[in-house]
Copies of this chain bind each other. A is one copy, B any other.
Amino acid sequence: MGSEGVVTESLSPFGIARATVNEKPLTKEEVRKYDAYFKATMYLCLGMIYLKDNPLLRQPLRLEHVKARLLGHWGSDAGQSFTYIHFNRLIKKYDLDSIFISGPGHGAPAVLANAYLEGTYSETYPDKSEDEDGMRRFFKQFSFPGGIGSHATPETPGSIHEGGELGYAISHAFGAVFDHPELIALTMVGDGEAETGPLATSWHSTKFLNPITDGAVLPVLNLNGYKINNPTLLARISHEELEALFRGYGWEPYFVEGSEPESMHQAMASTLEDCVKKIKAYQSEARETGKAFRPRWPMIVLRTPKGWTGPRKLGDHFLEGFWRAHQVPITDVATKPESLLKLEDWLRSYKPEELFDEAGRLVPELRELAPSGNRRMCANPVANGGLVRHKLHVPDFRDFKFHILKSGVSEDGSMNRFGTFLREVVRRNMDNFRVFGPDETQSNKLDAIYDVGKKVWLADYFEEDEDGGNLAYNGRVMEMLSEHTVEGWLEGYILSGRHGLLNSYEPFIHIIDSMVNQHCKWLEKCIEANWRVKIASLNILLTATVWRQDHNGFTHQDPGFLDVVANKSPEVVRIYLPPDANCLLSVADHCLRSSNYVNVIVADKQNHLQYLDMDAAIAHCTKGLGIWEWASTDIGEEPDVVMACCGDVPTHESLAATALLRQHLPGLKIRFVNVVDLFKLIPAHEHPHGLSDAEFKAIFTDDKPVIFNFHSYPWLIHRLTYARRGQHNLHVTGYKEKGNINTPLELAMRNGTDRFSLAIDAIDRIPGLGNRGGVARERLLNEQITAKNYAFHEGVDPQELREWRWPF
């Protein structure tokens, strides 16, 4: 099966180096050494994929030395390692403070090989010592059951970016260098990864980087040309288009293209050095003048063959420089002796006997090429962020409390109030805490922050920006209309030892489901890698919630992010739905002080009824759920019904339903329960926050009807409580995917979460009400219809519903 295209030769990755910078900074001797070092890393990469024994090939290679199951990826290793070792030279020459971010998929061998050769790996894992035995164990563990994966997983020293899912290398890198003015994040971007949306837009991050207070990202786009089974787009467009693209993104692209070793070493050494000098010069200029600006930061396009240094062909098929080099390059060593021989020849072509000494340690003349101590990229403490994490200075949240005159009567803007608290958090942590969001910090009523930290903006300015634009070269709020980018920045920021919060409209947080998934997985694995020091939690504030998206319509109504989060390991996820402002403050304080979690807080941004004074709120949030006695009528007795709720708007409607029941059915024994911490509902053995069965029964009973009004999809509550004895009595209401342009009341009615429906649900489930129940039910239905008709004609809910207050 051929291909019909006209072959383009000008984009070939083979041959003598073609480079933007054509100096020769290396002596012949240096070229020899760097090439040897490069070969040592390639030898280790190949060894990881294949060998479980005979690591230095001191015996002829036999099948018993080879792993039973061959796993791992060869394709991107060479380009990454090539970059890493040439940056080592500059780290030593200029005493650079750098980390390495490995973007290409499954590219861990390159990082692992370098971590091992520079000594970091053995320091972290002493059994993977720098000798033959250690190397054997180092090889065997790779992609081996119980061992380590083929990405730069949390087990990899120096990694803050696993890259199992593609797209976030650049945004993670920027997150790491914000407020780390001396740091350079050397960032490999795979040309596969470069096709993803998140990566494609993250190049714009330079418009948010301040050359005075932030460090720099040096991206190296490795055009090795292929993904799993396809060429990559960026390797198959003209040089002119490629160059224009990166200029358009605002970068100064440098090219290093080819495969011939000597010229490539010179080209990469000189190009990287030129880039480092440019970065230093821009930083100096800004720092000396005190005037920030957005330079055209340098980036490198490194075009090398996929699987570089491997055989160009295997039999009739292309290997090096084709997608067949992506994964395990020779797959049939177990069945074909000639393949085993081919592998042995290939391994020996790197001359391990010249690279490693008798003990199996890298020879001294090569060892000295790597930096030492924390200057080694895999040993940089920034990449074990907990090590460099400063304490977050959180003001006393009680100082921001709302004074409740009467529960269920006083009203306040929870989010505005929270904004003032957040402003003080920002003020106390001006180089250590940032607020992230796509475009909604102001819409979400958190704009009080701007008093102390504006929105970072290094792009151009217009005159109207003075009119409340709140833009600044130096700010604390990071807004770009890319949930992916801001989430990636935040992840990079906390992974490198700082603190932050992301605020977003609730429905569109699904855009980053997968990113949050991956961050949860990272955190979960960090528990196992016990040398990793805890980092700040990833705090996500969801507002503009479903029940107040009545006007934006169906596309803006989706509270299902909680279902995604609830699937993650209970060790790392927490979900809070504070019912009012004081609870929001209490919960937020807890989240900001916590570590190693993903905390999700759901709270609406509109004004709402307030219920708990600060002491009560603290007690309530500490317990995570509880009976609100002031709203209950069952004190000291078994209730007839439990009116339960979780979420601010649902609490409001449950309370109104409780009032209707008390009005229409006086004497009814009602217990009012509010849940703040969602995982309280899970059994204690399944989540650290879970209630014991006895505790659960003490609140919900195990035989009385429970009308549970939930913020999100109702099935989540069933899923959390399925093992509880009383679960059959649980009637859960929530968003059932019914909505359009509605008033808040109509939207609630369509989903059965309005006060009338809730009261009727209770009546329908309380045994023995008889005729009283029937009469009350009828009245409630009529009230409901009247309200609905009013809303339909006037376009707004009736005033008495909008301004409803707890009447007792």
Residues on A lying within 8 angstroms of B by beta carbon are 1-8, 11-12, 52, 67-69, 71, 106, 143-151, 153, 162, 164-167, 192-193, 195-202, 204, 207, 225, 227-233, 236-238, 240-250, 316-318, 321-322, 439-443, 450, 454-455, 457, 459-474, 479-485, 507-508, 510-511, 513-514, 517-518, 521, 524-525, 550-556, 558, 560, 563-564, 566-569, 713, 715-716, 718-720, 722, 727, 737, 740-743, 746, 791-792, 794-796
Measured CA separation A228–B718 after assembly (Å): 38
In the bound complex, do residue B517 and residue A237 qualify as a contact, i.e. CB atoms below 8 Å apart?
Answer: no
Chain B positions within 8 Å of A145 at CB level: 550, 741-743, 746, 791-792, 795
The 4 closest A-B pairs by CB, nearest first: A164-B555, A245-B248, A5-B461, A197-B197
The number of times this chain is found in the oligomer is 2
Known: A69-B795, A466-B2. A508 touches B248 (CB 8 A): no
Task: Looking at the assembled complex, report how far the CB atom of A329 sits from the nearest CB atom of chain B, in whole angstroms.
Answer: 15
Known: A8-B461, A485-B197, A715-B719. A153 touches B553 (CB 8 A): yes
Chain B positions within 8 Å of A461 at CB level: 3, 5-8, 236
**8 contacts across the A-B interface (CB closer than 8 A):** A3-B469, A153-B554, A193-B481, A229-B441, A237-B459, A248-B248, A524-B554, A715-B722
Measured CA separation A762–B482 after assembly (Å): 49
Known: A233-B480, A481-B196. A462 touches B228 (CB 8 A): no
Known: A8-B460, A518-B555. A795 touches B164 (CB 8 A): no
Chain B positions within 8 Å of A741 at CB level: 143-149
Contact of A555 among B151, B243, B316, B454 (CB under 8 A): B151
Contact of A200 among B2, B200, B440, B465 (CB under 8 A): B200
Q: Name the residue in A230, A244, A249, A455 with the highest tally of chain B Cβ atoms < 10 Å from its Cβ.
A: A230
Chain B positions within 8 Å of A463 at CB level: 7
Known: A149-B554, A243-B248, A250-B241. A197 touches B167 (CB 8 A): yes
Task: Looking at the assembled complex, report how far the CB atom of A544 sits from the nearest CB atom of chain B, in whole angstroms.
Answer: 11
Measured CA separation A722–B460 after assembly (Å): 56
Known: A151-B555, A464-B321, A467-B318. A228 touches B440 (CB 8 A): yes
Contact of A71 among B6, B457, B551, B713 (CB under 8 A): B551
Known: A165-B511, A792-B145. A464 touches B318 (CB 8 A): yes
Chain B positions within 8 Å of A321 at CB level: 464
Known: A5-B457, A227-B439, A321-B464. A68 touches B553 (CB 8 A): no
Task: Looking at the assembled complex, report how far the CB atom of A678 sits from the nearest CB atom of chain B, in whole angstroms.
Answer: 13
Known: A7-B463, A513-B513, A740-B525. A792 touches B231 (CB 8 A): no
Task: Looking at the assembled complex, report how far the CB atom of A481 sits from the nearest CB atom of chain B, in whole angstroms.
Answer: 4
Chain B positions within 8 Å of A322 at CB level: 464, 467
Measured CA separation A316–B5 after assembly (Å): 61
Measured CA separation A240–B197 after assembly (Å): 23
Chain B positions within 8 Å of A719 at CB level: 715-716, 718-719, 722
In the bound complex, do residue B524 and residue A737 qualify as a contact, i.e. CB atoms below 8 Å apart?
Answer: yes
Known: A8-B461, A461-B8, A567-B737. A482 touches B554 (CB 8 A): no
Chain B positions within 8 Å of A144 at CB level: 741, 795
Task: Looking at the assembled complex, report how far the CB atom of A681 sits from the nearest CB atom of chain B, in whole angstroms.
Answer: 12
Contact of A521 among B71, B481, B550, B554 (CB under 8 A): B554
